[in-house]
């Protein structure tokens, strides 16, 4: 296991276009169980192309980490039971169903502020799948640079795992031609990215 040099050395910067997105008219979402639903708004496609949420019928569904980030950045106003829900209350609500939410949010925020595009990685058994800076999410055929570059699993610094778990993660990443990164969050909320490689003798 070694620190990932690309993540450590690259000076990414938050997407400049994101700063203007929804600046004067943030999205309006409603907290429903373990997600935030946005039913309308002129910028839904713009947010989706930047990797936020998934479309289902007539709405954009945001996960807790996505909603927390957008609330923190002033891009989303969340309501529930006819009252506004701020960042801290949304975090407390999320923690009731996901005890890892603090760790995953710290990593999600760090990746976003590097200008990277992020989607859920649960179908790969990890927290996030991450794309190069500037990649727009789309369906159908993709260019080589539009495919997943990293799959990232967020863990606290006292996390322990088995060798079989490490092996499965690395094999999966290899199968989709991506790098497998473990994002380790310390007590100061600093994130260090470690890559585990499969080496053939």
pLDDT at 189 (0 to 100) = 94
Distance CA(45)–CA(187), nearest Å, equals 36
Could you tell me whether strands 83-85 and 59-62 are parallel, antiparallel, or unpaired per DSSP bridges?
unpaired
Average pLDDT taken over every residue of the chain: 85
Retrieve residue 177's tokens: 């031609």
Q: 84: domain CATH number?
A: 3.40.1170.20
- Of the three residues 76, 97, 118, the one that is the final residue of a domain is 97
Q: What is the dihedral of CA 65, 179, 193, 89, to 10 degrees?
A: 0
Report the pLDDT averaged over residues 184-200: 85
* pLDDT digit string, tens, across residues 109-128: 999 998 888 998 887 778 99
Q: Is 201 a domain residue?
A: no
Domain that holds residue 30: 19-97
Confidence of residue 198 (pLDDT cuts 50, 70, 90): low
- Of the three residues 97, 116, 134, the one that is the final residue of a domain is 97
Q: Is 44 a domain residue?
A: yes
Question: From residue 8, how far is each of 23, 82, 193 by CA, in Å?
Answer: 31, 43, 7
pLDDT at 18 (0 to 100) = 82
pLDDT at 163 (0 to 100) = 66
pLDDT at 37 (0 to 100) = 96
* pLDDT digit string, tens, across residues 123-135: 777 899 898 887 8
Q: Do 107 and 78 have their domain in common? A: no
* pLDDT digit string, tens, across residues 29-83: 999 988 999 998 778 888 888 889 998 878 899 999 999 999 999 999 999 988 9
pLDDT at 74 (0 to 100) = 93
């Amino acid at each position: 296991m070694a620190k990932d040099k690309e993540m450590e050395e690259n000076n990414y910067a938050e997407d400049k276009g994101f700063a203007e997105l929804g600046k004067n008219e943030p999205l309006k979402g409603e907290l429903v169980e373990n997600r935030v639903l946005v039913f309308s708004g002129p910028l839904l496609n713009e947010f989706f192309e930047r990797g936020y949420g998934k479309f289902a019928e007539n709405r954009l569904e945001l996960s807790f980490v996505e909603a927390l980030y957008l609330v923190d950045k002033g891009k989303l106003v969340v309501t529930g039971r006819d009252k506004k829900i701020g960042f801290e209350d949304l975090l407390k609500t999320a923690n009731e169903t996901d005890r890892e939410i603090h760790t995953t949010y710290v990593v999600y925020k760090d990746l976003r502020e590097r200008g990277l595009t992020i989607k859920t990685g649960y179908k790969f058994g990890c927290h996030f799948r991450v794309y190069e800076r500037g990649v727009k999410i789309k369906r159908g055929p993709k260019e080589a640079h539009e495919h997943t570059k990293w799959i990232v699993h967020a863990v606290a610094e006292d996390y322990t795992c088995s060798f079989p778990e490490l092996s499965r993660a690395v094999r999966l990443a290899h199968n989709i031609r991506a790098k497998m990164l473990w994002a380790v969050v310390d007590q100061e909320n600093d994130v260090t990215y470690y890559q585990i490689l499969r080496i053939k003798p």
